[in-house]
Structure 1
Amino acid sequence: MTKDKGWNNTADPKSRARGAKVRVKTARGRKTSSTRWLQRQLNDPYVAEAKRLGYRSRAAFKLIELVDRYNLLQNVHRVVDLGCAPGGWTQVLAERLSSKSQIIGIDLQEVEPVAGANIWVMDFLDIDAEEKLMAALDGAADLVLSDMANSSTGHRQTDQVRTMALCEAALDFAIKVLAPGGAFAAKVLAGGADNHLMRRMQYHFKTVKHAKPPSSRAGSKEWFVVAQGFKGLRDEKADS
């Protein structure tokens, strides 16, 4: 498994950014951290580009870059977007896939509708979630995506453990609903997936890589894991 940093940044909005930076003064009642966040947002070219193109969040560019780098949508007809709020990734899927494709976004909270996709308000961890999904799809999923991360606690190890737990839960879900040859991409933190999670993905997929898309902020701890070539449902315990 390797960490992929070999990106072509020619389409990077940062390369087109011009003009003086906006400085935000600290206002009464506003925390310093909030001021820093606001200033970062106002000076982020990806935020401006997302607004210009009508994407609901700058995160849309992370999926675009992953899709372009790894051909994630090649021969894909059925996609599941876990933790899809606010819908930026689902928008990209609806844009890139044909009108005959099936796109299902799942989240715990209400998400504004996305043309060309079905949004479900549900917990993908529910015992009958896989059954409901398979009943709705015309066949097994070709791609399962997860941009989920727990709210930051400010404690690095706690955040890492919680996000790894989400990633592992998403992987468990993907293993149950993916078609052979399918793919799985999910957010991880800090150094990437831990050894146990990596071994599981390598057992179930032909290739597994860590990726840091250009639109992921340099100071962010996030990485993404991209697993392709699903080998089909296998019994980990029996083969261990």
Structure 2
Amino acid sequence: MTSKSGGRQDRLKVRVKTAKRRSTASTRWLQRQLNDPYVAKARSEGYRSRAAYKLAEIDDKYRFLKPGGRIVDLGAAPGGWSQVAAERVGSAEGKGKGRVVGIDILEMDPVPGVEVLHLDFLDDTAPERLREALGGPADVVLSDMAPPTTGHKQTDHLRIMGMCETALEFAREVLAPGGTFLAKVLRGGTEAQLLNDLKRDFDKVRHVKPPASRADSAELYVLAMGFRGGDAGPGDDAGPGDAR
């Protein structure tokens, strides 16, 4: 039996009619966006995307965006993650605390406290240009990148894992010892080779799914903390809740 409050919520939901030129899938996506509380919250609080809350929620729990930190945001556009990073490391205050550099091949409007490098992070010059912009190695490398989906689960999984592996290669070049790597993956398990690489290079590796990540989405994040650098040996065993 539907409660009165539930019935009221149903009545308040925005319903979108299927236009002649809009597919059913597009209509469903639009209706979900219009009824998404994180979308409304992002709009009211000035964030460029609902994804900003995913990073904020992960950092609320694991605390890796520290005041004064040097952060790189790969595939930064439209800038939601860069906004959160700038707020938390202090660069948004304009007082010289912390540095955030966003890298993307797409054009991106300026973000207070963020230096944007308009280039492909696979460019041979990208690591050095990043270190110059940060004034040293990065404390955190973020990647919320994902290739366009095909609708074929296995293909989409392989493509996003490949992108994560590429981001990890970049992170190895620019991270300071003790640094953190956070990247998007898809449910279905991190590929064995990537997981082994992460465990070799970092002290702690875990999968996380923040509340802002839709429950019906296969999206997950892999969080690796305590970068050992190139000369590190075997590390600690994975702890409770860590990826295995």
- Alignment partner of 1:118 is 2:115: yes
CA–CA distance in structure 2, aligned partners of residues 102 and 141 of structure 1: 9
Asked if structure 2 preserves the Cα contact closer than 8 Å seen for 1:204 and 1:234, the reply is: no
- Alignment partner of 1:202 is 2:194: no
Query: TM-score when scaled to structure 2?
Result: 0.86
CA–CA distance in structure 1, aligned partners of residues 231 and 130 of structure 2: 20
Which letter maps to 1:234? D
Instruction: From 142, 145, 156, give the equivalent of 1:145.
Output: 142
Asked if structure 1 preserves the Cα contact closer than 8 Å seen for 2:67 and 2:89, the reply is: no
Which letter maps to 1:173? F
Give the corresponding residue for 1:180.
Answer: 177
Instruction: From 142, 166, 169, give the equivalent of 2:166.
Output: 169
Which letter maps to 2:195? M
- Structure 1 stretches of at least 4 aligned residues deviating more than 6 Å after TM superposition: none
**Any gaps of 5 or more consecutive residues in structure 1?**
1-16
> Deviation at 1:234?
3.4
Instruction: From 220, 223, 228, give the equivalent of 2:225.
Output: 228
CA–CA distance in structure 2, aligned partners of residues 132 and 192 of structure 1: 34
Identity %: 56
Give the corresponding residue for 1:78.
Answer: 70
Query: TM-score when scaled to structure 1?
Result: 0.88
Give the corresponding residue for 1:68.
Answer: 60
CA–CA distance in structure 2, aligned partners of residues 19 and 233 of structure 1: 58
CA–CA distance in structure 2, aligned partners of residues 48 and 84 of structure 1: 21
> Deviation at 1:19?
6.9
Which letter maps to 2:105? L
Which letter maps to 1:51? R
Instruction: From 81, 87, 97, give the equivalent of 2:89.
Output: 97
Secondary structure of the 2:12 match is: coil
Secondary structure of the 1:217 match is: coil
> Deviation at 1:138?
1.6
Give the corresponding residue for 2:239.
Answer: none
Which letter maps to 2:32? R
Asked if structure 1 preserves the Cα contact closer than 8 Å seen for 2:201 and 2:232, the reply is: no
Secondary structure of the 1:79 match is: strand
> Deviation at 1:135?
2.5
Asked if structure 2 preserves the Cα contact closer than 8 Å seen for 1:180 and 1:229, the reply is: yes
Give the corresponding residue for 2:236.
Answer: none
> Deviation at 1:235?
8.0
**Any gaps of 5 or more consecutive residues in structure 2?**
1-8, 92-96, 234-244
CA–CA distance in structure 2, aligned partners of residues 137 and 31 of structure 1: 44
Q: Which has the higher contact order (CA 8 A, sep 6+)?
A: 1
